[in-house]
Amino acid sequence: MPRRQLVHTVIDLVVAFRTVVEALDDGGVQHVVVGSTAAAAWGVARTTRDIDLVATMSATDVARFLAAIEHTDLYVPEDDARRAAGGGSFNVLHTRSGGKVDVFVAPPEDAFTRSRMERRVRMEVLGVPAWVATPEDVVLAKLRWRLESRSTVQWRDCAEIAATQPLDEEYLWSWADTLGVRSDLTDLLEQTRTATRREHGNPTGDGG
């Protein structure tokens, strides 16, 4: 992609993201940035044309959101958005660049979503003040996502976060069985410990 086009694409993605976040905030909708954008916020070197959000939205929330962005440069397939209320997903597209915000609507009874919302952190994403999932919740969600795909990209993201962020292991283990990620979490933390020992010149970890 030519540099000028790339710059405009990033700017348009920021505009789309800011518009979505402001509409959700103004509507009182709980939401949190997840996926590769959240991973990047915690130090993972990733670029993306998409931003993923998890939100809890009722039919009324969706209707209010659609009204809020009606006279903008954003396009939302309205039928998809209305069907997503209470559980589902829809896309918010910037009409010029194709930059995209994916909104995943979680059922209000989903315990992991509630936990992510309670623990989310306010920080800037692409210069936009936003709620971002904690490093632990990013890792757990990515491990769950790769259960079927076995994605190396998702694993690399988790490894980079584990290597650079002081993770709350007690919290990670508290969700391991519920999310079905105990085996992968074990491997991830052991890999991180091994890398740390090598970095400090003690590959066996025996203290000798």
- 16 lies in some domain: yes
| Pick from 117, 153, 121: nearest CA to 135 | 121
For residue 29, pLDDT over 50 is answered with yes
- 74 burial type by CB count under 10 A (0-12 exposed, 13-18 middle, 19+ buried): buried
Q: 141 and 105 in one domain?
A: no
- Rounded-to-5 percentages of helix, strand, coil across the chain: 55, 15, 30
- 142 lies in some domain: yes
Each residue's pLDDT tens digit, 159-175 = 999 999 999 999 999 99
Q: Where does a domain end: 76, 111, 133?
A: 133
How sure is the predictor about 85, in pLDDT bands with cuts at 50, 70 and 90? very high
Tokens (6 digits) for 108:
């209000």
Q: Where does a domain end: 97, 113, 133?
A: 133
For residue 76, pLDDT over 80 is answered with yes
Q: What is the pTM of this model?
A: 0.88
- What is the predicted pLDDT for the residue at 7? 41
Tokens (6 digits) for 67:
């009204």
Q: 92 and 10 in one domain?
A: yes
How sure is the predictor about 49, in pLDDT bands with cuts at 50, 70 and 90? confident
Q: 30 and 103 in one domain?
A: yes
Q: Which domain holds residue 5?
A: 1-133
Percent of the chain with pLDDT over 70: 89
Q: 143 and 118 in one domain?
A: no
Tell me which amino acid residue 67 is. A
- What is the predicted pLDDT for the residue at 11? 65
If you average pLDDT over residues 18-38, what whole number do you get?
96
For residue 35, pLDDT over 80 is answered with yes
Q: 74 and 151 in one domain?
A: no
Q: 180 and 117 in one domain?
A: no
Each residue's pLDDT tens digit, 63-72 = 999 999 999 9
Q: How many domains does the chain have?
A: 2
What DSSP element (H or E) covers 194?
Answer: helix 182-199
| Pick from 194, 197, 196: nearest CA to 208 | 197
